[in-house]
Amino acid sequence: MKASVLLLVCCLLMPVAAEAVPFWGAKQSSPVDTPPSALKPGEWIWGGDSKAMGPMAVLVSLTEQRAYVYRNGVLVAVSTVSTGKPGHETPTGVFTILQKDKDHHSSKYNNAAMPYQERLTWDGIALHAGGLPGYPESHGCVHLPSQFAQTLFDSTNMGMVVVITKTGEAPERLVHPTVISPISATTGADDEAAPLPVGDAFRWQPERAPEGVVSLVMSTADRRVFVYRNGVEIGRARIDFNAAGSPHGTHAYLVASGGQPGRMPPWLRVGIPGHEDEAHQPVSPQDVARVIVPTAFLADVLPLLSPGVVLLQTDMHVLPETTGVKTQVLNADPPTL
């Protein structure tokens, strides 16, 4: 009897072990020459990577249930994924990584483990390690194999572009802090930048966010380009287009490696699996020259265009006076994913 009591006391005094985080998918990469279509659920390929190679982008095909990872236009990795199930569909669109958390747990779904989370929207869409049954079964996130998710997490940077697409559909949503309806990231209050006064070609206020990598949004409908740093607008300019006309659609572009100081750097258009532009394509100097930007504004922006900087182009309106009902896309509340 005494022995039983002693055993019970010892058990009560022992630290409670933390709930083990599941491990999903294959532990090692499949051979690099494996065709992506031959990958079984949970399998993946990582062909080697170095940040010195240039900017990275991730393309998720909802139709194929696969993710493709490009580095400076070169396909370096492929993985099977599981995306949102019916009623919780993963949205298509052009996103940037807003937050990274290696040991994230969901506050919406019973504290579920979401290792190597890379947040794409503040309302709950992210890349992270998760179940991979071979079909869409998540609550909207993109599930990745655990080892692949860790390797990707270690390779990505904040602000990296992620394109989610479905065969037969162009990305419909442009997701970027403060573009559609500016909301302060610290107070939650409206933070709409004043429109350019009549006659002003541009505004440049880098002191509003002195440090960090920039990203750009270009609306061909409003003929404006906006520059953001840490979600804060630091500049905007009126733009025009030469005789070739304005480009169409919603696309993401990355600054590639190999630029020269003081000159426009080379750009890569982010390709979309299942579409005609499946591979990353260099943007020709002629296409770059289609956009007419105020000379003084361009001189301010050029030094900030380092490899990996993202430009999102849309033919939708983004100015408050042309967008109709306001839609909040960024809030100051703690993430509830």
Tell me the per-residue pLDDT of 180-210, one tens digit each, with 9 for 90 and over: 334 444 444 445 567 888 899 999 999 998 8
Q: How far apart are CA 252 and CA 45, in angstroms?
A: 24
User: Which uninterrupted H or E stretch holds 4?
Assistant: helix 2-13
Tell me the per-residue pLDDT of 219-247, one tens digit each, with 9 for 90 and over: 888 899 988 876 678 999 999 999 888 87
Tell me the per-residue pLDDT of 260-303, one tens digit each, with 9 for 90 and over: 888 999 998 876 554 445 456 788 889 899 999 999 999 999 99
Question: Which residues on neighbouring strands pair with residue 97, listed in sequence order?
Answer: none
Average pLDDT on 47-61 reads: 79
pLDDT of residue 224: 93
Residue 216: phi, psi to the nearest 5?
Answer: -130, 150
Give the distance from CA 330 to its chain's centroid. 14
Confidence of residue 135 (pLDDT cuts 50, 70, 90): very high
| Number of other residues whose CB lies within 10 A of the CB of residue 332 | 12
* pTM (two decimals): 0.65
Look at the chain and count its residues: 337
**Which has more confidence, 331 or 308?**
308
pLDDT of residue 320: 63
Q: How far apart are CA 22 and CA 29, in angstroms?
A: 19
Query: Tokens 């993710």 sit at which residue?
Result: 67
Burial tier of 20 (Cβ tally within 10 Å: 0-12, 13-18, 19+): exposed
pLDDT of residue 173: 44
Judged against a pLDDT cut of 60, whether residue 1 lies above it is answered with no
Concatenating the DSSP letter of every residue in 180-204 gives SS-B-TTT-SB-PPPPPPTT--EEE
Q: Give me the chain's average pLDDT, please.
A: 78
Judged against a pLDDT cut of 60, whether residue 7 lies above it is answered with no
Judged against a pLDDT cut of 60, whether residue 178 lies above it is answered with no
Q: Which two tokens stand for residue 200?
A: 């002003």
